[in-house]
Every structure is written in structure tokens, then in C-alpha cells.
Amino acid sequence: MALQLRPNCEYCDKDLPPNSMDARICSYECTFCADCVENKLHNVCPNCGGGFTPRPIRPATQWRPGVCTEAHPPSSKRVQLKYSSDELAEHSARIRKIPPNER
């Protein structure tokens, strides 16, 4: 199963196309831009509490049969957070000093 490659930052709604070097994901594929991860979320996923990693780039060119963005298109469904800014700040403050591998 391929990653969903969500099209936007769930915090600020910035476009994150499949080849974006700015996209960050958690292990549940929650998707945010690097700026929001670093400056607003402090490397704490507001949904699961995990950390983030750069999202891999899915090749646009079919180097192997059936393995490219054409064969496995990115998601077009935009996702937005369901938490308020205050809830996000509180959640992040509670656990951001704990390294992601110890959460």
C-alpha cells in the first residue's frame, strides 16, 4: 500500500504537492509543512503525539512498471485539524521535551 500523499498542511493549509521537499509526516501520515512542524507544533503531532519525518517523494517517472504517481496518484482530499490553537499549544507543551522515540 502506498502513502496517501495528502495535498496540504493540516495546520496552515499550504499546498504540498507529491514532489514537495517541505512536507512532513508522522507514522499515521498526518501531514504538515516544515514551518508548522518546527515553529507551531514543535515536532509533536497534534493527532497522535509522535514526531515527524520528511515525507518521501513518489517518483513521477515510471522507472519500474506500475510504480509512479500516475499508477498511484496522490490524495486530493484536503485535511484540516480539528483542534483549536490553544488545544494545540497545550498538547505540544506537555510532551515536546520528550524525544519522539520515548513518547
Read off the pLDDT of residues 11-33 as tens digits, 9 standing for 90 and up: 999 999 999 999 999 999 999 99
Intra-chain end-to-end CA distance of the chain, in Å: 26
Residues 27, 52: Cα–Cα separation, whole Å: 8
Count how many domains the chain has. Answer: 1
| DSSP 8-state code for residue 91 | H
10 inside domain? no
Kindly state the helix (H) or strand (E) to which residue 25 belongs, with its residue range: strand 23-25
12 inside domain? no
Is residue 1 scored above 80 in pLDDT?
A: no
Q: Whole-structure pTM over 0.85, yes or no? A: yes
Residues 38, 18: Cα–Cα separation, whole Å: 20
For 57, the domain range is 23-96
